[in-house]
Amino acid sequence: MSLDLESKLSLEADEVAVAAFLDEHGGRLERDKEEPAIYWLTMVPASDPEESYVARFLWSIYPGAAPSVKFATSIEGSLEDSTAWPMVAGFRPESRDICMPITAEGFALHPDWTQTAEAWRSSGNPFLYVVSALQQRMNNQYSGRFGQ
């Protein structure tokens, strides 16, 4: 998938705040080496700082639409292993999706969200908004690694 120039430049501008946020929470942000639409985020739940999860963000357009978010076994690793997923409300490891109005998968499952208060907002820093919402869930609802 190739990003348009506006999306690429907007992501590059907003990724600085995302990287700083993740660093504050023990994680990190890496841009994919070959695909500018993909970012790899290492996320750490506050209750278990020895545990980490790698989330793959895939943007189709930015800031105009929510990203696809899936957990991987490692950076550039498999997206098909459900044990790569944290157990958190709204995260569905067996379906490999996050049923929340911050992901492309959530909006695909609930197209009606586009007509409600749950609609995607492209103002501000949507990348940071999604990451902070996921981190908040991981900090407050995390109950371990799926399948272990």
As given in the structure block, the two tokens for residue 90 are 């709204």
In a domain, 146, yes or no: no
In a domain, 35, yes or no: yes
CATH assignment of the domain containing 35: 3.10.110.10
In a domain, 33, yes or no: yes
- Pairwise CA distance, residues 125 & 81, whole Å: 30
Per-residue pLDDT band for 2 (boundaries 50, 70, 90) equals confident
* Segments forming the whole domain that contains residue 109: 5-141
The string of pLDDT tens digits covering residues 25-73 is 999 999 999 999 999 999 999 999 999 999 999 999 999 999 999 999 9
- What phi, psi does 123 have (nearest 5°)? -85, 165
pTM (predicted TM-score): 0.96
The pLDDT of 77-99, averaged and rounded, is: 97
In a domain, 147, yes or no: no
In a domain, 38, yes or no: yes
The string of pLDDT tens digits covering residues 116-142 is 999 999 999 999 999 999 999 999 999
Answer whether residue 101 shows pLDDT above 70. Answer: yes
* Total tally of structural domains belonging to the chain: 1
- Pairwise CA distance, residues 145 & 148, whole Å: 6
In a domain, 148, yes or no: no
